[in-house]
Amino acid sequence: MLCPLLFLSAFILLAGAQKQTITKSSVLNISSCPITYYGQKYEQLYVNFTRQKIVFCFDHFYNPENKGDCIVGSSPNTMTADFDIIQADSFLDQWIRKKIQTIQNSLRCSVQITTQVRKSMITLALFNFGTEAALSLEAYTIGPVIYTGQVSKVVIDKVEVNNILESYQTDDILDISGCRHSGTVYKPGTVVNSNPQICSSVTCSETATLQTSGCGPLEHCQGNDICMLDTTCTVTGPIIDVHGQINSIQDRCAYSLFSTPSLPDFQVQGNFDDRRRKDVSFLDSVTLRVDGHDIHLEQGGRVQLNDSTLTLNSSSQLVHGVQLSKDQTGVIAKLSLSNLTISVFFDGDTAQIRLEGPAGSSVEGLCGNSSRSLRDLRLSEYSSTSCEMQYSETADSTINCTSVTERCNLLKEAPFSSCNSDIDPEPYITACTDTLCKYPAVDGLNCQFLKAYARACSLHDHTLDGWTSKTGCSSEAFCQDRTCSDHEFCGEKTVGGDTRCFCRAIFASKYQANNSLGDPTVCKQNSASLTLVGCLLEDKGIDYSTLHLKDPTCRGQVDELTHMVTFSFNSSNSCGTEVTANNSYIIYQNTIRSQNYSSDVITRNDQVQINFSCVHSQPNINTATFRIRDWSVAQHITSGAWNYTLTIKAYTDARRTQLVKWNTELQLNQKIWMELKTDGLDGNMVALVSKSCWATNKASPTSTPRHDLILNGCANRADRTVQVQENGLGTSTYFSFNMFRFTVGSADIFLHCQLHLCPKQGNNCIPTCSKAARRYRSASFTYEPEAPAFISVSWTY
């Protein structure tokens, strides 16, 4: 009768499939029967033959200096071995589990290797019980000499073996099950209580299944078995959220970046805008909403509370519970509660939001990898109506994406690599390459992502010594203390050179489409102005301080907030304005020119000459009906960009104090005085001239009969009652005549006047009238002094 182990060997040999003979160091594929060796699952077995030993390793070929997970035995006689994989058998399964009562699972298969050592055949069997495993070593004698083989030692390299023997005798079966965690091997059924200093506990179940508990992936152990959340979100144009996922903003709207249910009255808002390209957006400013107050972190290190600018330095200043400070790297806003700290850093280009709080704290907004869509996180009430509009531009052919990728991959090299285990560089590399492969590496962008990664590392106590010298970057904020307007951004004049405010691409495009440097002329009452865009002037290399109007003392005024430059003239200071006229318009024209402007045939200096003008339309002959008893009539005249009002009144006295009212009774042959007065014209530059006035008994100015009162600006000599008191002197005209009626047709009288605006500059606007004797009225009307009448009067202009 065979002893149990010999019986086992015989059973294995009988049940084995076709063997594979090994004659040299080999890698055996055991994937069909993988072995879980002290908690580590292996699908290959490396076999080494040496003069002194045979070694079976699971992770690599045997190396005395780096043994790995290996089983080391005596060297065989012929340096050959037979390899086989045996399928499971219920009898063998029961027999092994009777021998090793710690095994809980069922046998699935086994790996068998047989070799001869001296006079004995040595069989090494590795049994697969799923998450568990067993090892047996059996020797049986060939011939009369009995030799007992021995496994020299079992080596589990680089791990600590707890309560497990390191050398084994033949005729035995060993449980090689276990669990591995953080460099330690645990025996099945082991429970290691929580370590309060690392906030962790380890359980290796009876079936060698590992279970751990501890701080989450975004948490760290504070000690005393307390896990704390410590996570950072980085926003440039792309957003790297607290989970390391990347999101990208394609428009120029405001978004919710960060909020937490722990602080319902606190929110971090990101405002995005374009720069040199219309199709690429960057973070432009950050707004902290705290208990109904808005703290704005803007370009250049400017911080505003509602509409007031705050003065900050390296010492913290408490504003509505937020500690604000500023140094050469940027602005830091910090909100601290009993168990929660939120800090927001912004250097004008990059925002980094860090949350430190109790385990389980959640982050919402773009920084929280929220399941909500971008549209849900867009803050429409703080965005412009056109912010969602998408633009496309042709690719920049000067960008070398291969070179850009090499630059971004510096984050995987020293000194950055020392931080890679704590802060994954891949999201930063992706954000860097995605941006710089379509946007030029200017305005500090070449360093922006490297700087953001370095600062994220510094929050986890990685100093990254020498990173600035290796990359040619500075840790200081780009464009610090330079404030640009809303339609501008701060950029480099030349790469690595001085900085200035540039026009944003979308803002500049509406001017570039018309080859313009500013807005249309603004014409108001007695004044005109033209506003030029400061950043467009700088794009052309034009210094606004060298520009002036025709009068060199009239220079542009700069708005310190918008950097717009305005040139203007008015009735008090014409600044050399020239006034001309044609049949349709009175034209006020001036010129913005550079200080070195020359009218010579040639010049070797840059010349600037921008003409602008305002116009008054000449009055047309549009009829307006006026009844004397209605007191007066006013007509608003729109004259191109300028406009004015013409008022017409009738009086019964020469001093024009007794206005003709609705109940005034007028007699034939009674003298009345007419006043045509304008409001909105500059009397120093233009004069109102009544070129002609005539009367009809119908509303149409071309109807007959007709009687002329004023011809060519002068009283009609045929009607001696007509007197022109003032015409062409200022912005009003006055004349008088005696009331009359036509002898045929209607008794109504309609008056019509044709007016003209005359520029005073270089002109005598007062009509020259002859003093020759006047003739009496024509036969088409007659006097009837005795008959009172209410007369309807109208005129045109």
Q: Can you tell me the distance from the alpha carbon of 470 to that of 489, in angstroms, rounded to the nearest whole number? A: 28
C-alpha closest to that of 463 among 411, 415, 409, 410:
415
Q: What is the pLDDT of residue 771?
A: 65
Beta-bridge partner residues of 44 = 29
The single-letter code of the amino acid at 645 is T
Q: What is the pLDDT of residue 194?
A: 61
Residue range 55-70, pLDDT digits in tens: 888 988 888 777 678 8
SS3 content of the chain, % helix, strand, coil (to 5): 15, 40, 45
Dihedral angle sign, alpha carbons of residues 757, 763, 765, 768:
negative
The single-letter code of the amino acid at 383 is S
Same domain membership, residue 571 and residue 653: no
C-alpha closest to that of 216 among 227, 205, 206:
227
Asked if 181 and 202 count as a contact pair (C-beta separation under 8 A), the reply is: yes
Reported as type and span, the H/E element at residue 93 is helix 90-99
How many structural domains comprise the chain? 4
Q: Can you tell me the distance from the alpha carbon of 438 to that of 5, in angstroms, rounded to the nearest whole number? A: 72
What is the domain range of residue 69? Answer: 18-177
Q: What is the pLDDT of residue 143?
A: 52
From 192-206, 362-376, 714-728, the region with the lowest mean pLDDT: 192-206
Instruction: Read off the pLDDT of each residue in 95-124 and give the average, rounded to a whole number.
Output: 89
Pair type for strands 109-117 and 120-129? antiparallel
Reported as type and span, the H/E element at residue 450 is helix 445-458
* Three-state SS at 292: coil
Same domain membership, residue 645 and residue 609: no
Q: What is the CATH number of the domain that holds 665?
A: 2.60.40.4100
Instruction: Read off the pLDDT of each residue in 78-101 and give the average, rounded to a whole number.
Output: 89
Same domain membership, residue 610 and residue 628: no
Same domain membership, residue 688 and residue 592: no
Q: Does residue 421 carry a pLDDT above 70?
A: yes
Q: What is the pLDDT of residue 152?
A: 44
Mean of the per-residue pLDDT values for the chain? 83
Same domain membership, residue 143 and residue 38: yes
Residues whose CB falls within 8 Å of the CB of residue 393, separated by 6 or more in sequence, listed in order: 277, 278, 279
Q: Does residue 108 carry a pLDDT above 90?
A: yes
C-alpha closest to that of 523 among 583, 571, 467, 576:
571
Instruction: Read off the pLDDT of each residue in 548-552 and give the average, rounded to a whole number.
Output: 94
Higher pLDDT among residues 588 and 642, named by residue? 588
Asked if 781 and 707 count as a contact pair (C-beta separation under 8 A), the reply is: yes
Q: What is the CATH number of the domain that holds 515?
A: 2.60.40.3210
Q: Can you tell me the distance from the alpha carbon of 5 to that of 12, in angstroms, rounded to the nearest whole number? A: 11
Instruction: Read off the pLDDT of each residue in 326-330 and give the average, rounded to a whole number.
Output: 95
Same domain membership, residue 376 and residue 240: yes
Q: What is the pLDDT of residue 502?
A: 96
Q: What is the pLDDT of residue 655?
A: 92
Pair of tokens at residue 603? 């010049």
Pair of tokens at residue 787? 């008959």
Same domain membership, residue 636 and residue 544: no
Q: Can you tell me the distance from the alpha carbon of 569 to that of 168, in angstroms, rounded to the nearest whole number? A: 106
The single-letter code of the amino acid at 353 is I
Beta-bridge partner residues of 330 = 327
Highest mean pLDDT, choosing among 2-11, 101-110, 657-666: 101-110
Q: Does residue 208 carry a pLDDT above 70?
A: yes
From 239-243, 339-343, 642-646, 776-780, the region with the lowest mean pLDDT: 776-780
Residue 121, in any domain of the structure: yes
The single-letter code of the amino acid at 111 is V
Same domain membership, residue 524 and residue 642: no
Same domain membership, residue 641 and residue 610: no
CA triple 647-652-654, angle to 5 deg: 85
Q: What is the pLDDT of residue 606?
A: 55
Residue 436, in any domain of the structure: no
Which of 161, 177, 193 is the endpoint of a domain?
A: 177
Residues whose CB falls within 8 Å of the CB of residue 665, separated by 6 or more in sequence, listed in order: 788, 790
Residue 664, in any domain of the structure: yes
Q: What is the pLDDT of residue 724?
A: 95
Cis, peptide link before residue 217, omega less than 30° from 0: no
Pair of tokens at residue 557? 């005024």
Q: What is the pLDDT of residue 191?
A: 86
Q: What is the pLDDT of residue 13?
A: 42
- Please write down the HEC assignment for all residues of 32-70: CCCEEECCEEECEEEEEECCCEEEEECCCCCCCCCCCEE
Residue 247, in any domain of the structure: yes
Q: What is the pLDDT of residue 195?
A: 66
Same domain membership, residue 684 and residue 593: no
Which of 587, 617, 647 is the endpoint of a domain?
A: 617
Instruction: Read off the pLDDT of each residue in 508-523 and give the average, rounded to a whole number.
Output: 90
Q: What is the pLDDT of residue 370?
A: 65
Residue 52, in any domain of the structure: yes
Q: How much of the chain, in percent, has pLDDT values that exceed 90? A: 50
Instruction: Read off the pLDDT of each residue in 698-707 and give the average, rounded to a whole number.
Output: 86
From 144-158, 463-477, 737-751, 756-770, the region with the lowest mean pLDDT: 144-158
Higher pLDDT among residues 644 and 85, named by residue? 85
Pair of tokens at residue 224? 């005393």
Residue range 553-591, pLDDT digits in tens: 999 999 999 999 999 998 789 999 988 887 778 888 899
Same domain membership, residue 268 and residue 160: no
From 151-165, 303-317, 336-350, 646-660, the region with the lowest mean pLDDT: 151-165
Q: Residue 681 — very low, low, confident or very high, per pLDDT cuts 50/70/90?
A: confident
Residue 394, in any domain of the structure: no
Q: Can you tell me the distance from the alpha carbon of 157 to that of 153, in angstroms, rounded to the nearest whole number? A: 12
Residue 183, in any domain of the structure: no
Which of 586, 617, 648 is the endpoint of a domain?
A: 617
* Three-state SS at 86: strand
The DSSP code sequence of 94-125 is HHHHHH-TT--SPP-EEEEEEEEETTEEEEEE
Same domain membership, residue 559 and residue 535: yes
Q: Can you tell me the distance from the alpha carbon of 226 to that of 154, in angstroms, rounded to the nearest whole number? A: 39
0.75 cut: is pTM over it?
A: no
Q: How much of the chain, in percent, has pLDDT values that exceed 70? A: 85
The separation between CA 138 and the C-alpha centre of its own chain, rounded to angstroms, equals 72
C-alpha closest to that of 309 among 499, 558, 563, 561:
561
Beta-bridge partner residues of 332 = 325, 345
Asked if 788 and 665 count as a contact pair (C-beta separation under 8 A), the reply is: yes
Q: Does residue 477 carry a pLDDT above 70?
A: yes
Q: Does residue 18 carry a pLDDT above 90?
A: no
Residue 475, in any domain of the structure: no
Q: Residue 353 — very low, low, confident or very high, per pLDDT cuts 50/70/90?
A: very high
Reported as type and span, the H/E element at residue 181 is strand 179-181
C-alpha closest to that of 44 among 32, 62, 57, 29:
29
DSSP strands (E only) in 493-608: 499-503, 522-524, 527-533, 547-548, 557-558, 564-570, 578-581, 585-594
Residues whose CB falls within 8 Å of the CB of residue 93, separated by 6 or more in sequence, listed in order: 106, 107
Asked if 632 and 649 count as a contact pair (C-beta separation under 8 A), the reply is: yes
Q: Does residue 316 carry a pLDDT above 80?
A: yes
